[in-house]
Chain A
């Protein structure tokens, strides 16, 4: 399609992609623009919806220190969502269109946020595994072919490293606590391990967008390559924590130089992505409700600007 070397426009774009980042006002194929809008919007929605599972535990954090840290982390995720909406807007869409698309179910967010957070240990498992998987996905995006997306990712990746560490620290503390606390940590990891591996998407053989996305320099590694990278980094950390990862097939393969692991449950992933996960309805209801509940703030700000903006304009004229 767009990669046809006989098409001069496609050839010029391929050259631009290899020469360095594509910037908003450069000519680009419509399909490239559409792919980026879809991906960046979905990424932004994930950051915003991702505040919910952890936000539910802010009022129940076990200490003031943990509460302050969790608030800072959730606030960062809001910031990540805003950086990404801004990056998407450079492609000619309006943030309000994207938010509407989320609210109407026309755009998606990461399946991971449709799992419930049942105990405090889930804050540890999410920071360690979910943010860890997100970082693995996001680091290569810092060099993706679209400049504004890449720059947003650089900022996000800088902020993410504390997210993962605070999660690891929560689990480390629990693992040095009472038997009940250790059991709680293990239970959280048992529930979040497989959903975290699903964050990398379906296996390569079933991934619809990978080839084109890689040709355009948006994606630099396949789903399975990134999943493998995450497993390889995480297994030694689990050992250090004294936690067992719930995969009987997990073992070091000296020949490959990687850990072998079992396959993700593709049916479960498909169900959750299709909206039938444990918390999909709850997350969307909460998001729409929060948006509606905030309407008066937006109206008040607009009314304030109308009043004082008019007064300022008069003062300038006068």
Chain B
């Protein structure tokens, strides 16, 4: 039908918020992808800004390596404030 590439769409709902993945769509080029994204994902004022990026340009971590890939963070509890004992009566720490 079309050889149009797939694009991933990210929408910023309001100023002050990050762009969030909304979905994907097909379009021949970036401009058309933006227009299609507006019609498809912001028909009810859901966004004030849209990013589109070719799906082929995304690199994702693999779910198979989930455990090993994220393992380095698992045993570093001292990165969390709750790890530390604070003497009673000490405030604003």
Contact = CB atoms under 8 A, between A and B. Distances in A.
Interface string A66-85: 00000010011001001100
Interface in A1-41: 23, 25-27
Nearest to A302: B28
Given A301-B32, A305-B29, A309-B29, A86 B24 contact: yes
B62 interface: yes
Interface string B1-39: 111101000000000000000011111110010000001
Contacts of A27: 64
Interface string B48-76: 00000000000010111000000000000
Interface string A267-299: 000000000000000000000000100000010
Nearest to A83: B23
B36 to A, nearest CB: 9
A99 B1 contact: yes
B43 A86 contact: no
Given A99-B1, A100-B1, A79 B29 contact: no
Contacts of B27: 301
Given A305-B28, A305-B29, A309-B29, A75 B63 contact: no
B40 A79 contact: yes
B1 to A, nearest CB: 3
A267 to B, nearest CB: 36
Nearest to A76: B43
B43 A25 contact: no
A249 B27 CA distance: 52
**What range describes how many residues of A lie at the interface?**
20 to 34
Nearest to A162: B44
Contacts of B40: 79, 82-83
Nearest to A103: B1
A305 B24 CA distance: 19
Contacts of A252: none
Interface string A92-124: 000110011000000000000000000000000
Contact of B2 (A82, A152, A298): A298
A79 B43 CA distance: 9
B63 A25 contact: yes
A32 to B, nearest CB: 16
A151 B21 CA distance: 11
A116 to B, nearest CB: 28
A89 interface: yes
Contacts of A152: 23
Given A23-B63, A25-B62, A75 B2 contact: no
Nearest to A96: B1
Nearest to B3: A302
A39 to B, nearest CB: 18
A23 B44 CA distance: 27
A72 B39 CA distance: 11
B24 A301 contact: no
Contacts of B39: 79
26 contacts: A23-B63, A25-B60, A25-B63, A26-B63, A27-B64, A75-B43, A79-B40, A82-B25, A82-B40, A83-B40, A86-B25, A89-B6, A89-B24, A95-B1, A95-B26, A96-B2, A151-B23, A152-B23, A155-B23, A159-B44, A301-B4, A301-B27, A302-B28, A304-B28, A304-B29, A309-B29
Interface of B: 1-4, 6, 23-29, 32, 39-40, 43-44, 60, 62-64
Given A79-B40, A302-B28, 9 more contacts: A27-B64, A75-B43, A82-B40, A89-B6, A95-B1, A100-B1, A151-B23, A301-B28, A302-B3
